[in-house]
Chains A and B, each alone.
Chain A
Amino acid sequence: MADSESRKVIELGYGGNERLVMNMGPQHPSAHGVFRAILTLEGETVVAVDAVIGYLHRCHEKLGEMLTYVQYPTIASKTDYVAAMTAELAYVTAVEKVASFEVPKRAQYLRVIVAELQRIASHCLWLGTWCLDMGGALGGGATVFLYCIRERELILDLFESLTGARLLYGFHQVGGTRYDIPPGWAQTCRETIALIEQRLDEYEAMLEDNAFFLVRTQGVGVISATLAQEVGVSGPLARGSGIDFDLRRAEPYSSYQDFDFKVPVETAGDCYARYRVRMVEFRESIKIVRQALDGLPEGPISSRPGVKSVGQVRVPKGEGYARVEGARGEIGFYIVADGGPKPYRMKVRGASFSNLAILPHIIPGCKVADVVAIMGSVDPVFGEVDR
């Protein structure tokens, strides 16, 4: 439809009728990763977009068949590399669901703490890069970017003292977690999130009610609720369009039912609505972390002995799908197990893959400058898109 039209235009070159075919290629300062969008412009207005993905395909699903259940969690973090904890959580939850393994309470609370901290860190990166795209590498956008990264570094320091790694952790294992919190970590964590809560007020002061920011985001990239449901977007994209659905509340996993948090929903469906949803999610995640730290029970961190050999975990025959609420939406893993140490088939449902499908519906009709604002508010991570 829109795809075939723009493909014809590409073959003709300057598609006649004053149309310009411009390539926002895989190497682009605001492509959020390797993403190619072939835009057809009439003046400043985008008439058609042809999205090309696949530049980051690294055969995760094949790796899932070749690596065992104890090896794969370290690789699962590489799908959504910006929010690695939730990606690993999705995989181990799926395996535990298929095998009916139990996870001790302390491990569940640790997983919640870590997932919510990761959500805060991921949203920090989202806000920074989005403002960077809209404000320029030499300008106000860079300022907000550096503030957000400064805060994200604090959370990464927390993760570093917990696991030893800053970006790709390997924190989860089938049956629980690999690491327990070191002494003093809970106190540092509390201080860090208190600091971030204050700094959030600063970001909002810079952006909220700011006419420059509002004209760039209000009314831009409107996704209606019906369109969101048809295309299958999830996460803050869906909640910004009025669909009140959050997996942490609808299908609680890993003890989320013990915690009290609000799920923000906005009805406008534009970039500003998605921005507001994520800003509220910041504060709600901080609340959840505090509740989890307060209620952290004693006990083992894994229901299975520590990994001693590569084929240690065997899952009896069966199949199942588990999904978690990642920072970008619903991350799901579908596992078909055949009784051995490796899955027979593993499918990854990446949140950004479905979210990115919204682009051909909302980009035609907007200006070139809006394309970057929309891409930023969709917040794709191409590890999830291309797997």
Chain B
Amino acid sequence: MEHLALDALAAFILLNAVIGMVTYVTLLERKFAARMQSRIGPYRVGPHGLLQPIADALKLMMKEDIVPRAADRWVYNLAPIVFLIPCVLIFATIPFAPRLGLADLNIGVLFFLAVSSLEIVGLFMGGWGSNNKYALLSAMRAVNQIISYDLPFVFAALIPVVLAGSLQMSAIVAAQQGLWFVAYPVIGQLGFVAFLVATLAAENRVPFDILEAESELVAGFRVEYSGMKFAIIQLGEYAHMIASSFLGALLFLGGWLGPGSDIPAIGVLWFLLKAMLVFLVVTWVRWSFVRIRVDQILAVSWKLLLPATLGLLLVTAFWVALRGGAGA
């Protein structure tokens, strides 16, 4: 019985930690982006803008919750929650240190990939339920895009799985004791780049953020949401972004491995650092490019990324077979 209570407590702590981290990651992104644009970013709320996320959260909580009269009420109101749940659930499977994880499943990577693609349901519900042409257009584009990019995402994530011989995340990190997967000649680097590109597209980040193209569709599927529902959607998006960064750090950059990582605390620190590095690289790409059209995005996925990741996976499998089995 106390086992259940302990698990519930751990889940509660993790949930709060995730939400706290997500809010402060928005601040990190804003300041990083600002410095790249010769400006400062949030500065006045709290010392150097450190209280800005709190101010934003308070503001969103206090806003009026407007529901369009013609909106499909059940679909519209449930959409943010259906969107948020998968995005936060995937954190349960990420181990932060050798035995510090909520649910280190032996099918961890599979669970992560499967559940993270469930967000599309919530997204489409939001777009449909808003009864707004902009939102509908954006939701249709989103379904197209995310489904197309889930396949390369899965294949790119499978490369470390094949190299490590296990779907369990801690086993994948353990297999990187000798050499991080990203350092493997050619397949490591190409796999990491493919993973980053697929992450960008699955997260609707520029250059693939056609679904929320502010200059055309104002806010995409989120356009009719205000107040706390909007906050929940933002939370879900950034949580998914962070979770993908963690996954990338875990699969390719060696997770919690690093000098002094025998101590779990330092391991966790390394893991956070690497995840933030992946996040910053994604942000750097985001703030450097213009977006491409939806048909071009789909062309990239089906004509370029899918064959490339499939090819890489085959090469990896071939190499592993030659090496004599995985887990070298």
Complex: A in contact with B (CB within 8 Å): yes
The interface of chain A, by Cβ under 8 A from chain B, is: 20, 22, 24, 28-30, 44, 131-144, 146-147, 150, 206-207, 210, 212-213, 215-216, 367-372
A210→B207 CA distance, assembly (Å):
12
* Across the A-B interface, the 9 shortest Cβ-Cβ residue pairs: A139-B206, A135-B290, A30-B215, A140-B289, A146-B37, A133-B215, A369-B293, A134-B290, A137-B214
CB contacts (< 8 Å) of A146 on chain B: these are 37-39
A140:B290 contact, CB within 8 angstroms: yes
B291 A134 Cβ-Cβ under 8 A: yes
Hey, which chain A residues are within 8 Å of B134, CB to CB?
Answer: 22
Are B291 and A135 in contact (CB-based, < 8 A)?
A: yes
Interface residues of B (CB under 8 A from A): 33, 36-39, 133-134, 137, 141, 206-207, 209-210, 212-216, 218, 286-296
Q: Judging by beta carbons under 8 Å apart, are A140 and B207 in contact?
A: yes
Which of A24, A139, A150 is B291 in contact with, Cβ under 8 Å? A139
Chain A proximity of B233: nearest CB distance (Å): 15
Does A136 lie within 8 Å of B209, measured CB to CB? yes
User: B206 touches which one: A22, A138, A144, A370 (CB < 8 A)?
Assistant: A138
**Complexed CA–CA distance, A136 and B318 (Å):** 42
CA distance in complex: A370, B216 (Å): 10
Chain A residues contacting B291 (CB-CB under 8 Å) are 134-136, 139-141, 212, 216
Question: For residue A368, which residue of chain B has the nearest CB?
Answer: B216
Q: Please, which residues of chain A bring their CB within 8 A of the CB of B37?
A: 142-143, 146-147
B290 touches A29 (CB 8 A): no
- In whole angstroms, how far apart are the Cα atoms of A214 and B295 in the complex? 14
Could you tell me the distance in whole angstroms from the C-beta of A362 to the nearest C-beta in chain B?
16
Give the chain A neighbours of B133 by CB distance below 8 A. 20, 22
Q: Contacts of B286 on A, CB cut-off 8 Å? A: 138-140
CB proximity of A202 to chain B, nearest CB, Å: 11
Q: Write the nearest CB–CB distance from B280 to chain A, whole angstroms.
A: 15
Evaluate contact between B215 and A140: CB separation under 8 angstroms: no
What is the CA–CA distance of A138 and B215 in the complex, to the nearest angstrom? 10
Chain B residues closer than 8 Å to A132, beta-carbon distance? 215
Which of A138, A144, A147, A372 lies in contact with B216, CB distance below 8 A? Answer: A372
Residue in contact with A139 in the complex, picked from B287, B294, B295, CB distance below 8 Å: B287
A142, A207, A368: the one contacting B287 at CB < 8 Å is A142
A371 CA to B295 CA in the complex, in Å?
15
Inter-chain contact A372/B289, CB cutoff 8 Å? no
Instruction: Point out the residue from A24, A143, A216, A372 that lies within 8 Å of B292, measured CB to CB.
Output: A216
**Residue pair B214, A140 in contact (C-beta under 8 Å):** no
* CB pair B216 A143 closer than 8 Å: no
Q: Considering the chains assembled together, what is the distance between the CA atoms of A30 and B134 in angstroms?
A: 14
Contact B287 A29 (CB under 8 A): no
Q: Which chain B residues lie closer than 8 Å to A135 at the CB level?
A: 206-207, 289-291
A210 to B291 CA separation, bound complex (whole angstroms): 11
Shortest distance between the CB of A25 and any CB in chain B (Å): 10
Beta-carbon contact of A215 and B206 below 8 Å: no
| Closest chain B residue to A44, Cβ basis | B294
Contact A212 B216 (CB under 8 A): no
Q: Contacts A30-B216, A44-B295, A146-B37; is A206 near B209 (CB within 8 Å)?
A: no
Nearest CB in chain A: distance from B139 CB, A? 13
Question: Distance (Å) between the CB of B131 and the closest chain A CB?
Answer: 13
Complex alpha-carbon distance, A137 and B286, angstroms: 11
Q: Within the complex, which residue of B137, B212, B290, B296 is in contact with A131, where a contact is CB–CB below 8 Å? A: B290
Known contacts A135-B206, A212-B290, A370-B293; A29 and B38 CB within 8 A of each other: no
Q: Which residues of A sit under 8 angstroms from B141, Cβ to Cβ?
A: 44
A137 vs B215: C-alpha distance when bound (angstroms): 7
Task: Judge whether B292 and A215 touch: CB under 8 Å.
Answer: yes
Residues in B with CB closer than 8 Å to A150 are 38
Closest Cβ neighbor of A370 among chain B residues = B293
- Central interface residue in B137, B210, B214, B288, by most chain A CB within 10 Å: B214
Considering the complex, give the chain A residue whose CB is closest to the CB of B212: A136
Closest A residue to B285 by beta carbon equals A140
Q: How far is the CA of A234 from the CA of B293 in the complex (A)?
A: 29
Q: Determine if B207 and A369 form an interchain contact, defined as CB atoms under 8 angstroms apart.
A: no
Q: Could you say which of A22, A134, A136, A139 has the most chain B C-beta atoms within 10 Å of its C-beta?
A: A139
Across the interface, A212 reaches (CB within 8 A) one of B207, B212, B287, B294, namely B207
Q: CB-CB < 8 A to A134: which residues of B?
A: 215, 290-291
A4 to B: closest C-beta gap in Å: 23
Once bound together, how far apart are the Cα atoms of A363 and B295, in whole Å? Answer: 17
Write the nearest CB–CB distance from A46 to chain B, whole angstroms: 11
A367 touching B292 in the complex, CB below 8 Å, given contacts A136-B214, A143-B37, A147-B38: no
B38 x A140 contact (CB < 8 A): no
New contact pairs (9) apart from A134-B290, A139-B206, A368-B137, CB-CB < 8 Å: A20-B133, A22-B137, A135-B290, A136-B212, A143-B33, A207-B290, A367-B294, A368-B216, A369-B213
Minimal beta-carbon separation of B108 from chain A (angstroms): 32
Give A218 to B193 CA distance when docked, in angstroms. Answer: 27
Known A146-B38, A368-B137; judge A139-B216 contact (CB<8 A): no
Distance in angstroms from B305 CB to nearest chain A CB is 14
| Choice from A22, A137, A212 contacting B289 with Cβ under 8 Å | A212
Chain B nearest Cβ from A27, distance in angstroms: 10
A131 to B206, CA, bound (A): 13
Question: Given A210-B289, A212-B292, A369-B210, do A136 and B215 touch, yes or no (CB 8 Å)?
Answer: yes
- Chain B residues lying within 8 Å of A368, measured Cβ to Cβ, are 137, 216
Nearest-CB distance from A132 to chain B (Å)? 7
User: Across the interface, which residues of B come within 8 angstroms of A44, CB to CB?
Assistant: 141, 294-295
Q: Does B287 contact A143, Cβ atoms closer than 8 Å?
A: yes
Please, how many angstroms separate the alpha-carbon atoms of A214 and B33 in the complex? 24
Contact between chains at B294 and A371 (CB < 8 Å):
no
Tell me how far the C-beta of A217 lies from the nearest C-beta in chain B, rounded to whole angstroms. Answer: 9
